[in-house]
């Protein structure tokens, strides 16, 4: 039930009525202890276990975090703690200069995390990606050697499954080999692409993910669970999360309770109260079934293929690359620029098209598609085909609408 707020008639209850008649505030958080939210504690464990099974782990650990950025930060903190447990007590004084590795296509939260955790953004070593946006394992090797020569200690590699702009999947097997050779924590940022694990047809894109130490996976993205719903999954069975983040507050985590205090999972996280993020995924899974969710993923891939094929039939659309995932990156080439690829200012003029069309579509209120510059490439559109309600008719509309909005350019 919904409690009414302060402006409700109940708030003006006569002073003579006992105070306890006033409704309690809504319970927004839970999670520190089993006694506060027994069902949700067990539900979180159950959902995490199911996600881990999809990664390929029969045991492990995990938590729901407030978003993929935070899940990534947890992974970095855990990797650092595993290598230097003393840093929990002594902080940065316990550490030599550290180095972590991720590709130039990684999500910006890796750098934010490095700053937030006191490592500094300079400790993030950027590994080259190939023309399809995948991390180059040979360059990873090179960057590790370089960092060592410079006196830094490598401790973590963050691979990406489903990069934010191009939708690329890093070669996880080859990256796992490198991590194994150098004894590095392997994190997979699968915030965007993790949900592909639900699809028997497409899960090969994440082959090797079972070799990771940690995986960040956002059901609030491709699976469209309500914000926020992001899981950090760990292969670890040594209670690393709790050792790394626990602080044993004696008023919550009493050790002399009548039940198994291992169920008091709240000390694994850096929050106190938390939203019940697992509930959204649990309900969705119950409603759709594993097959229903798999169907959604497969449909997104199929609809992406349809959009790409339709683009190829039309004159004004140029793909940045053949998509591997559901990110369709393309330029709309307006009539005045068609066939002018050789002119010296072509790229410059083409780069001005997407912002202008974006302005027009927003002001019309007809649709919204993201655009961005990328590397040496000027602004291009990035259509992400994720919403399960999208149809072929929507794809046709998108193409027609771009042609209509850009016909005078
Ligand atoms: C979106 C995204 C994130 C960040 O997730 P938030 O939940 O928005 O914090 C991290 N990594 C990748 C690859 C993403 O696409």
> What is the per-residue pLDDT for 12?
42
- The ligand 1 atom at the shortest distance from the C-alpha of residue 190 is 13
Question: Whose CA is closest to atom 10 on ligand 1?
Answer: 68
The CB of 160 under 6 Å from ligand 1? The reply is yes
The CB of 281 under 6 Å from ligand 1? The reply is no
The CB of 382 under 6 Å from ligand 1? The reply is no
Backbone angle region of 77, left / alpha / beta, with phi > 0 → left and psi within -120 to 50 → alpha = alpha
Least confident of 10-19, 96-105, 120-129: 10-19
Domains recognised in the chain with CATH numbers: 38-275 (3.40.640.10), 288-405 (3.90.1150.170)
> What is the per-residue pLDDT for 264?
86
- How far away, in angstroms, is 69 Cα from ligand 1 center? 6
pLDDT tens readout for residues 349-374: 999 999 999 999 999 999 999 999 99
Q: Which residues of 334-353 are buried (b: 16+ CB within 10 A; e: fewer)?
A: beebeeeeeeeeeeebbbeb
Answer with the residue of higher pLDDT: 117 or 10. Answer: 117
What is the arithmetic mean of pLDDT over 284-303?
Answer: 96
Answer with the residue of higher pLDDT: 388 or 396. Answer: 396
Coil, strand or helix: which one is 405?
helix
Backbone angle region of 92, left / alpha / beta, with phi > 0 → left and psi within -120 to 50 → alpha = alpha
pLDDT tens readout for residues 53-103: 999 999 999 999 999 999 999 999 999 999 999 999 999 999 999 999 999
pLDDT tens readout for residues 147-162: 999 999 999 999 999 9
Question: Whose CA is closest to atom 2 on ligand 1?
Answer: 191
The CB of 123 under 6 Å from ligand 1? The reply is no
- How far away, in angstroms, is 90 Cα from ligand 1 center? 30
pLDDT range class, residue 168, cuts 50, 70, 90: very high
- The ligand 1 atom at the shortest distance from the C-alpha of residue 221 is 1
The CB of 285 under 6 Å from ligand 1? The reply is no
- The ligand 1 atom at the shortest distance from the C-alpha of residue 66 is 7
Average pLDDT for the chain: 92
The CB of 161 under 6 Å from ligand 1? The reply is no
Res 17 pLDDT > 90? no
- How far away, in angstroms, is 189 Cα from ligand 1 center? 8
What is the arithmetic mean of pLDDT over 226-239?
Answer: 96
What does the angle CA 122 – CA 123 – CA 126 come to, to the nearest 5 degrees?
A: 80
- How far away, in angstroms, is 216 Cα from ligand 1 center? 9
pLDDT tens readout for residues 304-357: 999 999 999 999 999 999 999 999 999 999 999 999 999 999 999 999 999 999
- The ligand 1 atom at the shortest distance from the C-alpha of residue 72 is 10
The CB of 327 under 6 Å from ligand 1? The reply is no
The CB of 102 under 6 Å from ligand 1? The reply is no
> What is the per-residue pLDDT for 21?
59
- How far away, in angstroms, is 367 Cα from ligand 1 center? 23
What is the arithmetic mean of pLDDT over 6-21?
Answer: 45
Number of Cβ atoms within 10 Å of the Cβ of 82: 17
Number of Cβ atoms within 10 Å of the Cβ of 233: 28
């Amino acid at each position: 039930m919904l409690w009414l707020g302060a402006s409700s008639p109940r708030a003006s209850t006569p002073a003579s009525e006992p105070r306890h008649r006033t409704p309690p505030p809504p319970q927004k958080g839970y999670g520190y202890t089993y006694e506060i939210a027994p069902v949700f504690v067990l539900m979180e464990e159950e959902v995490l276990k199911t996600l881990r099974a999809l990664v390929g782990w029969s045991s492990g650990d995990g938590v729901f975090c407030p978003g993929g950025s935070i899940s990534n930060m947890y992974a970095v903190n855990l990797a650092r703690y595993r290598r230097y447990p003393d840093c929990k007590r002594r902080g940065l004084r316990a550490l030599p200069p550290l180095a972590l590795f991720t590709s130039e296509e990684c999500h910006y939260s890796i750098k934010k995390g490095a700053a937030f955790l006191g490592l500094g953004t300079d400790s993030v070593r950027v590994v080259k990606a190939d023309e399809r946006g995948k991390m180059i394992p040979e360059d990873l090797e090179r960057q590790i050697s370089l960092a060592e020569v410079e006196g830094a200690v490598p401790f973590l590699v963050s691979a990406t499954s489903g990069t934010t702009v191009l939708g690329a999947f890093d070669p996880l097997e080859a990256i796992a080999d490198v991590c194994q050779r150098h004894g590095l924590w392997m994190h997979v940022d699968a915030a965007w692409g993790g949900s592909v694990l639900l699809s028997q047809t497409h899960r090969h894109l994440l082959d090797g993910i079972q070799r990771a130490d940690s995986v960040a996976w956002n059901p609030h993205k491709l699976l469209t669970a309500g914000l926020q719903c992001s899981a950090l999954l760990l292969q670890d069975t040594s209670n690393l999360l709790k050792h790394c983040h626990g602080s044993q507050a004696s008023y919550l985590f009493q050790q002399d309770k009548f039940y198994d205090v291992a169920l008091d999972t709240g000390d694994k996280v850096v929050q106190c109260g938390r939203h019940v993020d697992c509930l959204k995924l649990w309900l969705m899974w119950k409603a759709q079934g594993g097959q229903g969710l798999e169907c959604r993923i497969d449909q997104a891939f199929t609809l992406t293929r349809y959009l790409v094929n339709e683009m190829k039939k039309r004159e004004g659309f140029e793909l940045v690359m053949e998509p591997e995932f559901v990110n369709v990156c393309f330029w709309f080439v307006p009539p005045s620029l068609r066939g002018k690829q050789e002119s010296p200012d072509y790229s410059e003029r083409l780069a001005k098209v997407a912002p202008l069309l974006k302005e027009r579509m927003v002001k019309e209120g007809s649709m919204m598609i993201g655009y961005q510059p990328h590397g040496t490439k000027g602004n291009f559109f990035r259509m992400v085909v994720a919403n399960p309600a999208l149809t072929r008719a929507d794809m046709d509309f998108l193409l027609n609408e771009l042609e209509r909005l850009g016909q005078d350019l």
